[in-house]
Structure 1
Amino acid sequence: MTTVTVPNELLTIEDWDALEETDTNRYWELVDGTIVMNAFPSAGHQLVAHRLATRLDVQLPDGLVALQHIGVTIEAQFPPTERGPDVVVFPRARAHLDVPRIDPVDVRLVVEVVSPGSRRTDRIAKVADYQYAGIPGYWIIDPAADDDSRFVAYELVGGAYKEVARGSGVITLERPFPVTIDVDALLTFD
């Protein structure tokens, strides 16, 4: 068993960057200067995120890229918040080896794949965080949900998220860029 020493004070972005990741079975985020530890995504969770990133990548306008597991700054000022969406779409020109996270002004879309322990966080806290950061699009994919809420898409309108799509099957959206997603194909595991 790995022992992790968690600081007992709020962290700055510099403190966060200086921490060594000591437990590879956990996935870490920084929320209001506090470390939030989650279970590492399951194989099925990662498969859904990988499929989505691959399908997005071939449909994206030139200059954009869809990547998995890259941090997005929600609030850089103390106490900082950095989230780690399952998929992030941003300009390819921002993908450099020395960039530890993406600034929200560069992000076009974030996607969270819901895990059993993340349902409230993905549907409440992250909606508020991504909206606060001004990210134009937020999608939630929930493999365990009924057909109506397996896929939910939000678009930033007047500073607030508005639900623009929900369901399963083939879903076509025009914003934040034109894209068609077959939700059922993303969530088929056989």
Structure 2
Amino acid sequence: MGAVMTTPGQERATEDTWMFPPADGWTFDQVKHLELPFDWELVDGVIVARGQTKLWHNHVRDGIADALKAARIEPYTVVTEQCVMFDDRNTPKPDVIAYDPRKLNFFEQECVPVANVALVVEVVSPGSRQDDRVRKPALFAEAKVPCYWRVELERDHQLAMHEYWLNADTRSYFPAPMHPVHHGKLITEVPFPVEIDLEALVGF
């Protein structure tokens, strides 16, 4: 694997230099202004392209977000495709999050602090399998995000919702004890009571 090219003294990434991070990586402030021809996340100071999603993925993502918005209780709110701030070099962008907006500056906030996040939902697509199944669960569990849902499209074009809860002592997720995998309908009480008709999300 070749050496990573760096740009010594670079204060802000540009459309020509973003792929050459400094030795310690870009910070969010150095890259947030970029207008790149793809969606991206900042991972350990490196800009990583997010894969192109298919129509079904976006319908499922938006349907889950709508159901969560309808069911949410105070103080939670729900948003899609919003960057989450772990630190200044790590700002992943989950498909959906439920978070506590209290004490956040609604009009100035660029990323949601990970400490405010109660639920992360990732809809798995071919280009995100490793991230959604391995890297992101470990990342969000380490940060003590209480709930993680992973949505998979199965071979019969039905959805499987994998529900995980946090073990705060080990900072790792374990399958929800009563219903670790939901088919047909998701019914859960955490982070707040919600029912989601999974079949309807892929039925037209």
Q: What is the TM-score when the length of structure 2 is the normalising length?
A: 0.80
Q: How many matched pairs?
A: 181
Deviations 1:128-153 (A, max 9, x none): 11111211111011124568972101
Letter in 2 for 1:142: E
The runs of 5 or more residues in structure 2 that have no matched partner are 1-14
- Give the structure 2 partner of residue 83 of structure 1: 92
Poorly superposed stretches of 4+, deviation over 3 Å: 92-95, 144-149
Please list, as runs of the form range in 1=range in 2, the aligned pairs for 1:17-166 lying within 5 A after superposition.
17=32, 19-23=33-37, 26-74=38-86, 76=87, 80-93=89-102, 94=104, 96-144=106-154, 150-158=160-168, 159-164=171-176, 165-166=180-181
Contact 1:88 1:107 in 2 (8 A): yes
Kindly provide the CA deviation profile for residues 97-125 of structure 1, in whole angstroms up to 9, marking residues without a partner as x: 32110001111101011111111110011
The CA distance in 1 between the partners of 2:139 and 2:133, in whole Å, is 11
Structure with higher Rg: it is 2
Structure with a larger share of its residues in helix: 1
2:159–2:199 contact (8 Å) kept in structure 1: no
For residues 89 and 95 of structure 1, what CA distance do their matches in structure 2 show?
Answer: 17
1:106 and 1:122 map into 2 onto residues whose CA distance is 20
Deviation at 1:16, TM superposition (A): 2.6
Identity %: 29
TM-score by length of 1: 0.85
CA contact (8 A) 1:4 1:22 kept: no
- Gaps spanning 5+ residues in structure 1: where? none
